[in-house]
Structure formats: structure tokens, C-alpha cells
Structure 1
Amino acid sequence: MRGAGHARCAGAKTITLDAARIDPPVEDPVSNVLKWVLLVVAVATFGLLAWATVMTYRAAPPQPEQFVSANGTVLMTDQDIVAGKGGFQKADLMDYGSLYGMGSYTARTTQRRP
């Protein structure tokens, strides 16, 4: 049996595999720079996404606790508003307009009428 650095080929020719003769991979400085640029861009993008999410929730319009008529009668409470939002989402009316309710103008009505 021959040493570990030799291999046998057809036709009784011997090919020597010598680790010292194998060229090491070429170091590509541009590739390393691009890896760092990608990492920085990814971190900055996720940071911007997190910041925009926080700012969106901070700038969201307030939800009143209740609507009261001029004579003091409670027209609706915040629980009614939450239930209405749930019905709006259940009927999938978000695709009909903006986040603030344009879908209520263009979608079929889901309310009961007296």
C-alpha cells in the first residue's frame, strides 16, 4: 500500500497529491468589503424599521373613551369602537381603503339598519 499522498489511476500512472503544492484560496478584499457593507445595511435597515414602527404607534390617532351627544347621552364607548374595528377586519374591508376607514365608504355595509 502506498502513502496517503498518492492515488492510483487507470493505466498504472501515479498522480501525486501534495498539500504543499495546492494553491491557497485567493483573498479577495472587495468580497470582504461587500460582506461588511451588507451587514451594515442590514442592521441599519432593521433599525430603521424598528424606529418607524415605534414612531407609527406614537403618532397613531387617539381613541376616545366615549362619544357623548350634546345632551349628555353616551352614543358609543371605546368597547364599541374596538368591536367595530373587529367587524371591519373580519369582513376584510382593509383592502378597500386606508387604515383610517376609507373602506367604510366603498365597501358594502355590514351594519344593521333600524
Structure 2
Amino acid sequence: MFTITKEFHFSASHVLDRLPSWHPCARMHGHNYIVVLELSAADDARTENGFVRDYRELGAFKEWMDATLDHRHLNESMGGGAPPSAENLAKWIFDTWRAEIPELSAVRISETPKTWAIYRP
């Protein structure tokens, strides 16, 4: 199995309104997010060039991220369903992009330099 990753960045706000009112994340706040897409393929499923997928083909994801998430309020961007935690954001991105990127095997999200959430089905 071969695995590649590509990192993307965006800034956005959110409110985790299911937390107690005294919790700081219950107030509107923002993060400089890091998104890492992980793509995997078996040796015989790679392209004739030996790629899991050409990194350049992930440009559509960057365009979508810039238009949908960057400098937006995630409570609105994610459709108002599940709270926009890092965990739920990772799953939402995975579910949104799995059909377009069938090699997608995980999505990692960082809100701060010391915190990461990973969704891997």
C-alpha cells in the first residue's frame, strides 16, 4: 500500500454551541486550520507513472476549500448539522470529497499547533 498526503490551509470561525456557556469554545472564535488529505492505493492500483494520484489533481479541492471554508463561519459552511468540531470537520470533508477522490483514505485537521483530529473510516 502506498500513501501520499497534501497539506492545505484556511482560516475560519466557529461556535461550539453545545458546550457549557462557561467554556471558551462556546463563544465565537477562529482558527488557522491545517487540512491534510491522505490518499492510498495498492501497488497495482497506482497510475502508469507510479502515482497514487498526481498532486496537481488536488487543485479542485483547494479551490473548493478557498470558496467554501476560507474566511467563513463553519457553522454555516457545514450546513448547520453536527457541531463544527475538528473531528466533525474532518468527517464532513471526507464525505464531501470521497466520490471525487476515491483514493482518499483519511482527513486530518489541526486547529492549533498542538492539536489534530483524524477521520479514517
Shared fold (TM-score greater than 0.5)?
no
* Larger relative contact order (CA 8 Å, sep ≥ 6): 2
TM-score range, shorter chain: under 0.3
**More strand by proportion, 1 or 2?**
2
TM, length-normalised to structure 2: 0.18
TM, length-normalised to structure 1: 0.19
**More helix by proportion, 1 or 2?**
1
Structure with bigger gyration radius: 1
